[in-house]
């Protein structure tokens, strides 16, 4: 049996800030089989240390350039998957996960600590599945810093979940690695006048993947590449897009304990109860016959918030109610904070991150708004569909690959979409959706059923990862 170690900066159920955590919390478990055994390693953040009773299984020294300190290794099994946690209080015992001035040093430590951890694990790892910039230095360090046959023979995959966050740091960041300076001088890890964890991951991993086929194509173009298109083009033959799935056990309207009533495709009455409860809870007028629209998101410009703000009054002129659940950019938060004063009992903004409430919102709303500027995959629209909530999305990245727009002639689709990043186009499709909701309820119900029947599980995509592993490990 081959051993795969997923390396990431977040993963459910232990810690989450976005879709990466959903992936790390569900993909390894789906791949686990007689052929592959997957485990996960995460940084031991304060929140994990305080909320979980983990077993300490080791302690070792980590030396990487200026870094010379101890790493503590903790372990816990969850849902059949072995989770490892690398602890160092100086780096990770903090309230947040990211956004610190020493993030480069923190994740340089993490990368090195993962590679050293391999020497004390009770099994040999065949493949390291690295995710996003936080782990981007692992492939080059594994190949160029270590001369032992164990590290040399390990295969690496680097998965891009969001190309916007690149881990670019000033040149002095080199001092935190034991790497030959030539990799900076020859441009391999150099980006502008500093070093880029993202670039290193792309160039040195054996295979590069991203989280949808459309995004895999988009990032080769200037418009979506965040200036990495020429780098990515050099790896074009090793780059593939595999769309994300979700944990269909956790996201199951028929068993979800966060809901006041459960429901499934054959008995949708529970969804009405969820809607009523949600309206009551959030101070909206309780009405079953008004279209309840929601957004559950990090509040960043990536998510198309500018279109919503631009058209807010026109949107609220429609016969709808609006719920925004999210946190992020201060300016965006301040704009949404006006909502419930301007539109009392019709619109509400819950500012914060709330897992339980997110389940209740996915179940209670009729439509999920996701007009992203770019979207590597998107998890929210997949969850929405599973709960019979129709996504209204922009046709970009993974949204394009997972949402099939309503076709009134063929009676097909599982949501609504628009192409151009334009407030008018968003408004038009919203009006179109309203028309279907109010005047063609049978069609709306058909779309709900199609959405709930859409395969948003990991099944098909896990097979694709397995093919990739087979390809690399010569199965």
Which residues sit at the interface with ligand ADP, rule CB under 6 A? 18-19, 22, 296-298, 325-327, 353-355, 358, 377-380, 383
Nearer to ligand ADP, 327 or 422 (CB): 327
- Segment (H or E) for 182: helix 182-185
> Among candidates 164, 221, 167, which has minimal Cα distance to 199?
167
Nearer to ligand ADP, 355 or 467 (CB): 355
Cα(6)–Cα(28) distance, rounded to whole angstroms? Answer: 8
Pairing between β-strand 320-328 and β-strand 347-351 as defined by DSSP bridges? parallel
Nearer to ligand ADP, 22 or 126 (CB): 22
Nearer to ligand ADP, 296 or 426 (CB): 296
Tell me the closest approach of the beta carbon of residue 147 to ligand ADP, in angstroms.
Answer: 37
Tell me the closest approach of the beta carbon of residue 297 to ligand ADP, in angstroms.
Answer: 5
Tell me the closest approach of the beta carbon of residue 326 to ligand ADP, in angstroms.
Answer: 5
Helix, strand, coil shares, percent, the chain, to 5: 40, 25, 35
Tell me the closest approach of the beta carbon of residue 209 to ligand ADP, in angstroms.
Answer: 15
Q: Please list, in sequence order, all residues whose beta carbon lies within 8 angstroms of the beta carbon of residue 187, skipping any fewer than 6 positions away.
A: none
Let me know: does 22 contact 12? Beta carbons within 8 Å.
yes
Question: Count of CB atoms within 10 A of residue 34's CB?
Answer: 6
Tell me the closest approach of the beta carbon of residue 168 to ligand ADP, in angstroms.
Answer: 19
Q: Which residues pair with 90 in a beta bridge?
A: none
Tell me the residue nearest to ligand ADP as measured from the CB: 19
CA 182, chain centre distance (Å): 34
Nearer to ligand ADP, 127 or 163 (CB): 163
Cα(52)–Cα(46) distance, rounded to whole angstroms? Answer: 10
Let me know: does 300 contact 329? Beta carbons within 8 Å.
yes
Tell me the closest approach of the beta carbon of residue 352 to ligand ADP, in angstroms.
Answer: 6
Nearer to ligand ADP, 358 or 450 (CB): 358
């Amino acid at each position: 049996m081959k051993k795969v170690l997923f390396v990431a900066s977040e993963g459910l159920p232990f810690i989450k800030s976005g879709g990466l955590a959903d992936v790390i919390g569900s993909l390894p478990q789906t791949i686990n089989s007689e052929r592959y055994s997957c485990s996960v390693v995460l940084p031991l953040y304060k929140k994990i240390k305080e909320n979980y009773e983990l077993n300490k299984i080791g302690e070792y020294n980590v030396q990487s350039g200026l870094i010379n300190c101890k790493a503590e290794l903790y372990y816990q099994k969850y849902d059949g998957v072995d989770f490892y946690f690398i602890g160092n209080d100086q780096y990770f015992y903090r309230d947040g996960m990211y956004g610190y001035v020493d993030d480069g040093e923190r994740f340089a430590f993490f990368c090195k600590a993962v590679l050293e951890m391999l020497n004390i694990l009770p099994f040999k790892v065949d493949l390291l599945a690295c995710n996003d910039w936080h782990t981007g230095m692992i492939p080059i360090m594994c190949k160029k810093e270590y001369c032992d046959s164990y590290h040399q023979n390990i295969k690496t995959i680097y998965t891009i979940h969001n190309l916007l966050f690149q881990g670019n740091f000033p040149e002095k960041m080199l001092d935190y690695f034991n790497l030959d300076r030539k990799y900076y001088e020859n441009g391999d890890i150099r980006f502008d006048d500093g070093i880029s964890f993202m670039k290193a991951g792309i160039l040195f991993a054996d295979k590069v993947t991203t989280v949808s086929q459309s995004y895999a194509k988009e990032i080769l173009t200037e418009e979506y590449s965040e200036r990495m298109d020429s780098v990515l083009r050099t790896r074009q033959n090793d780059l593939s897009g595999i769309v994300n799935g979700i944990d269909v056990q956790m996201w199951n309207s028929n068993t979800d304990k966060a809901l006041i009533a459960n429901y499934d495709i054959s008995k949708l009455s529970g969804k009405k109860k969820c809607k009523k409860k949600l309206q009551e809870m959030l101070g909206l007028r309780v009405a079953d016959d008004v279209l309840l629209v929601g957004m559950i998101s990090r509040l960043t410009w990536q998510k198309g918030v500018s279109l919503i703000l631009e058209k807010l009054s026109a949107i609220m002129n429609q016969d709808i109610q609006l719920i925004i659940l999210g946190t992020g950019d201060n300016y965006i938060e301040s704009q949404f904070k006006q909502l419930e004063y301007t539109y009392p009992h019709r619109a509400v903004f819950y500012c914060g991150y709330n897992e339980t409430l997110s389940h209740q919102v996915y179940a209670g709303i009729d439509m999920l708004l996701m007009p992203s500027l770019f979207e590597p995959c998107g998890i929210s629209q997949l969850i929405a569909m599973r709960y019979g909530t129709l996504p209204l999305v922009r046709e970009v990245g993974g949204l394009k690959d997972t949402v099939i727009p309503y076709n009134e002639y063929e009676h097909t689709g599982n949501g609504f979409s628009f192409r151009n990043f334009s407030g008018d186009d968003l408004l038009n499709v919203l009006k179109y959706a309203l028309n279907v909701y109010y005047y063609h309820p049978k069609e709306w119900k058909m779309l709900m059923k199609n959405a709930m029947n859409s395969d948003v599980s990991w099944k098909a995509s896990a097979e694709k990862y397995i093919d990739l592993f087979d390809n690399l490990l010569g199965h």
